[in-house]
Amino acid sequence: MTVTTLPTAHTGPTAPSFTPAPADVTYEPAPAGAPADAPRVFTAINSVMRDAMPVGKNQRNTQQNYAFRGIDDVMSAMAGPLREHGVFILPSIASHRAERRGEKVTHVVIRMRYRVYGPAGDCLIADVPGEASDFADKATNKAQSAALKYLLFTLFMLPVDGRSIDDGDRHHPEVPTEHRAERQEQQRRQQRPQRQQQSRRGQRADAETAAPQAPPRQEQPRRDFKAEAEAATGEEQFTAIRAAAASAGAPPEYLAALDAIADGKRADLRAPQHAPAAVNMAGAEEALRLAASRAHLRTLDADFEQVYGVPIAQASAVQLHAFRKKIEGAA
């Protein structure tokens, strides 16, 4: 059978061949003499992935106020599974570029080359970029830490508790203490006029919205209802005095004292007018004490003084008679 080559549709000049750039990830087989039953690096990586523990954002940058996953936490999570399955990583710097940004910041961009070896000696090669800035001499260290962290995350698919590997993991340049103090002082100077202006506005608003204060209340002089009851000359006056005392909130014992005064005045009006005053006083006191004795009232003097405000010896016959009537009525 004869095979005839058909002409191609394009008869122009041949296009130059395109050679792709070397891949960032390559593989080196196990050396000669490696045990045939030793796991290859791909199998070992899969075993490490099974044993890897999640890493959360347990670290916090207090300067920029964000949480991130620190390289220490990542290495601690990976150290055990890597040792368990005979995997180790050999790092090297493939490229390094540093530049000054401003007067104090150093910015570094590196390309790290990692050789991930398995138990059989075969090797997986991966290039990972790293970038960081620093005010001192730690920019390269930070860039290497970032590259290693993301190699471990992406190669071993390290669990992250369901949260994405976002920009919160990035490294930020930290302001040195002396520069931080200068910046804080500058911020305070800028904020001071604003605070003063806000304070003046608040005071002005308070003055405008303040309600006029009512004039202080002047307390009325307290009435002496007992004195008014003593001075009352008729039943109508006493009734009005007692009603006023009740409206003012006088307690029951105070109203009882007013009633006793009224009863005494009524009895005094009914008593014979021709008897000498001394005889009336002595007889009234004797009758009062006799009534208290019959009623077994041992606190006569104290109770009387509490009601009338004077001891029995200084009381009037009207008061003595009124209190005796109350004792007899209670008995």
pLDDT at site 317: 85
Pairing mode, strands 66-68 and 123-134: unpaired
Q: Give the chain's residues under pLDDT 70.
A: 1-25, 161-184, 186-187, 190-191, 194, 202-221, 269-280, 331
Question: Where are the chain's structural domains?
Answer: 25-161, 175-202, 225-330
What pLDDT shows up at residue 64? 80
Check residue 165 and give its pLDDT.
47
pLDDT of residue 164: 47
Closest listed residue to residue 306, CA positions, set 289, 290, 319: 319
**Could you tell me the strand order of the sheet in which 88-101 lies?**
25-28, 123-134, 105-117, 88-101
Return the percentage of the chain with pLDDT > 90, whole number: 28
For residue 275, the one-letter residue type is A
Confidence at residue 178, expressed as pLDDT on a 0 to 100 scale: 52
* pLDDT value of residue 93: 95
The string of DSSP codes covering 298-316 is TTHHHHHHHHHSS-GGGS-
pLDDT number for residue 219: 55
Q: Which CATH number fits domain 25-161: 3.90.1070, 3.30.390, 3.40.50, 2.40.50?
A: 3.30.390
